[in-house]
């Protein structure tokens, strides 16, 4: 895969202006990134600018805390898809993880996945589930990834980048191992073939060395606002 296609070119800061977003889109087109990742209020702006390109529109949902109701996440997801989002990055219900309420965690993801599958556009959106690894124990990371697989997520993602820490190579490797093992378990139980669940590393990826390490650990996608600098460094 072309190196640039590992990247979701990201702008999520609260004070991002319309021109800031336009600049990110121009860069994404110039360098052929996988997607542009924005808050939901910017979805329509980005999708309009990315018409007639193969660059996806990625919208964060329940961001950055994940503490919204499932209904609120579903409505935000539906609006984002209607505005042109082709990828949805939702934040898991971290409080429910801490409660050990895995039924709620799984249902929260599954309900958003249902909107990604069936919505007014007739197009299915990819669902990435942000588990916010910096707030979880190792056991919770494993169980959160397993819940995401059971709920039909297309990706598990390390971090929002807005909490106490970002992606680590160790977490990416653990997530890769966990989703592969859970998928194999479900296939054995059901006798059905399941699609591969991907891993996205996000938060604190600011140089080529770190990006390369995340990919080698099992990341299929990288979320960063330092995308252009990383790409330039990779070409030296």
Catalytic residues: 89, 157, 200
Alpha helical stretches, state H, the chain: 18-31, 43-49, 70-82, 94-99, 102-117, 138-150, 169-190, 208-217, 227-234
How long a stretch of residues is the chain? 236
Q: Are 225 and 205 in contact (CB under 8 A)?
A: no
Q: Are 141 and 171 in contact (CB under 8 A)?
A: yes
35-38 and 87-91 as β-strands: parallel, antiparallel, unpaired? unpaired
Q: Are 166 and 209 in contact (CB under 8 A)?
A: no
Report the largest interatomic distance among the alpha carbons of the chain, rounded to a whole angstrom: 51
Dist. CA 69–CA 61, nearest whole Å: 11
Which residues are registered as beta bridge partners of 75? none
Q: Which of 61, 125, 116 is nearest to 92 (CA)?
A: 61
Dist. CA 25–CA 23, nearest whole Å: 5
Q: Please state the separation of Cα 180 from the chain's center in Å.
A: 17
């Amino acid at each position: 895969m072309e190196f640039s296609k590992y990247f979701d070119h990201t702008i999520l800061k609260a004070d991002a202006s319309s021109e800031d977003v336009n600049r990110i889109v121009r860069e994404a087109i110039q360098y052929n990134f996988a997607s542009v990742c924005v808050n939901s209020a910017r979805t329509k702006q980005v999708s309009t600018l990315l018409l007639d390109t193969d660059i996806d529109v990625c919208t964060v949902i329940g961001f950055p805390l994940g503490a919204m109701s499932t209904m609120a996440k579903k409505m935000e997801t539906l609006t984002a898809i209607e505005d042109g989002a082709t990828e949805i990055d939702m934040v898991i219900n971290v409080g429910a993880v801490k409660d050990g309420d895995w039924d709620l965690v799984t249902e929260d993801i599954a309900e958003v996945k249902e909107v990604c599958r069936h919505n007014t556009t007739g197009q299915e959106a990819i669902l990435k589930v942000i588990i916010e690894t910096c707030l979880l124990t190792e056991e919770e990371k494993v169980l959160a990834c397993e819940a995401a697989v059971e709920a039909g997520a297309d990706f598990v993602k390390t971090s929002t980048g807005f909490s106490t820490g970002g992606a680590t190579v160790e977490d990416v490797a653990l997530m890769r191992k966990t989703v592969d093992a859970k998928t194999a378990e479900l296939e054995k139980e059901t006798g059905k073939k399941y699609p591969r669940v991907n891993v996205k590393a996000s938060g604190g990826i600011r140089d080529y060395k770190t990006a390369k390490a995340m990919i080698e650990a099992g990341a299929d996608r990288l979320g960063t606002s330092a995308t252009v600098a990383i790409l330039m460094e990779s070409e030296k």
